[in-house]
A and B are shown apart, each in its own frame.
Chain A
Amino acid sequence: AQRVTQPEKLLSVFKGAPVELKCNYSYSGSPELFWYVQYSRQRLQLLLRHISRESIKGFTADLNKGETSFHLKKPFAQEEDSAMYYCALTVGGTSYGKLTFGQGTILTVHP
């Protein structure tokens, strides 16, 4: 069975500092990896997905199949980045496959 691990429950950085949210997964095949974000009092929303290889709000994530990781990075954190971040994977397609989530990391960006 697939599994997603986010080792940090809490992460604090200062505005302008680089930030990296870690995500490791276990699955023997080729999963699709996602980062979802939940801002305060808002619903869960997709931040980015590895197959699109795009940068959203300055965030990027590279899939490392050798290390089975999909860490989320941003070179200069902003206060508005403070939120709960979930790493998730699916197998079998974005609609057919269930999403398996990690436990989440609360990112706090201090002024």
Chain B
Amino acid sequence: GESVGLHLPTLSVQEGDNSIINCAYSNSASDYFIWYKQESGKGPQFIIDIRSNMDKRQGQRVTVLLNKTVKHLSLQIAATQPGDSAVYFCAENPYSGGYQKVTFGIGTKLQVIP
């Protein structure tokens, strides 16, 4: 029978091209954001984070952009490689007033076409 479940948005990218994965967050009190990568059969792996006092942060081949006005987060991957194929999750965490729960998005599946 047909499987029922979350329908992950899928992004297909040619190897070597840049990838942009978008995420809308919901809580205006969130001031810490994290991107995770999850490969098949593994746990989510931390990629990069950003705090609300920044609008851009760069890592190795990855850049995260934060637009607090429209509550939008994006992850840019430069020169996408086959090993980047995975599900990518954004997560938000309100920072003030003690530790709050981290809320994960549903994820975006990145498929890299060789």
Partners in one complex: no
Spell out A's residues near B (CB within 8 Å): none
